[in-house]
Each structure stands twice: as C-alpha cells, then as structure tokens.
Amino acid sequence: MLSKQLHEALNAQINAELWSAYLYLSMSMDAEAKGLKGVANWFYVQFQEEQDHARILMNYILSRDEKVTLLPIEEVRTEWASPLEMFQDTLTHEKKVTAMINNLAAIAAEDKDFASSNMLVWFVDEQVEEEESARGMITACEAVEGNKFGLYMLDKELAARVYTQAAPLASAND
C-alpha cells in the first residue's frame, strides 16, 4: 500500500509530467511556426517522452492497487524569442522536475517503500540525462548565435532526433 503522502505526490508528479509534455508541445508548435522544423521535431520527441513519464507513473500507481487522479493542466507559455531561450526554459523547468523527483524519492525512503524507491531510480537517472541534454542544447545554440547558417545546420541536425519508448514501458510490453 502506498502512503497517502506518496500517493498524492505521485499523482502530482503525473500532472507535472503532463504539464512538461504540454510545455514542449508548445515549444514545438512555436518553432514549427517559425520554420525551424528540426527544433520543432526535437521538442515533439520531448513531448512524446514526457507522456511516457506520466504513463510509467500511472501504471505504477495502478499496479499498487491505487487510484490515478488526473489534475487540471495549467496553461503554458506559447512564444519564445529563439531556440536558445526555449532550451534555457527547458533546463530551468527540468531542474524543478528533478527537485520533485528527489522529493518523491525522499518520501519513499522515509516510508521504507522499497518498491517505490526502485521504481523512482529510473526517474532519478532520467533527470540527470534531461539536464545534461538541455545544457548541451544551450551550448549548441550559443555556439551558433547570430549565425544564420549555423542555425540552419543545427536545425537540420535536430530533425534527426527519433522518439523511442521509455525503457520501463518497453519492458512492460513483454
């Protein structure tokens, strides 16, 4: 059985992951409207990954015989001045998500809920990757700042990003 505190925090995390999905979808739409198809693709893949994160948590709550409560999704920003600004926002947001995941891990540890602790290990590792990838994109955008050809090449590179289902969902399909 999940503790009430952990159950509520997991439901709140589902909402945060879906809000993240919505944020990245909004960035994708803004980039596409500005002709940056590669940047749009990168954020669309991100949008898909965030939905996976929510699904993993929903599956987990259900597997513990508890109820998933879907909360309202707050509105998101709809316009950014540049891809650099999008990736800066991404890093700021992912740092907040990392803090939320760490808080979940702390509650699970306090509860001595080892199953939840194990489930959260994937998210702890994922957040390290999310922050690293956002930092990498900021560096890339800074490198091409003010250079239209550089941005064109970077956009081409980002067009190659492909969505792959998150490992915990892929293994659940076995």
Q: Which residues bind Mg ion (CB under 5 A)?
A: 17, 50, 53
In the numeric block, which tokens belong to residue 117? 């602790």
Q: Which is nearer to Mg ion, 33 or 70 (CB)?
A: 70
Smallest separation, CB 130 to Mg ion (Å): 7
Smallest separation, CB 146 to Mg ion (Å): 32
Smallest separation, CB 123 to Mg ion (Å): 8
Burial class (CB in 10 A: 0-12, 13-18, 19+), 14: buried
Sign of CA dihedral 65, 112, 107, 104: negative
Q: Which is nearer to Mg ion, 124 or 144 (CB)?
A: 124
Tell me the C-alpha to C-alpha distance, in Å, between residue 10 and each of 71, 93, 161: 12, 18, 29
Smallest separation, CB 39 to Mg ion (Å): 19
Q: Which is nearer to Mg ion, 32 or 122 (CB)?
A: 122
Q: Which is nearer to Mg ion, 103 or 147 (CB)?
A: 103
The identity of residue 4, as a single letter, is: K
State the residue number with the nearest CB to Mg ion.
53
CA–CA distance, 56 with 43 (Å, rounded to integer):
20
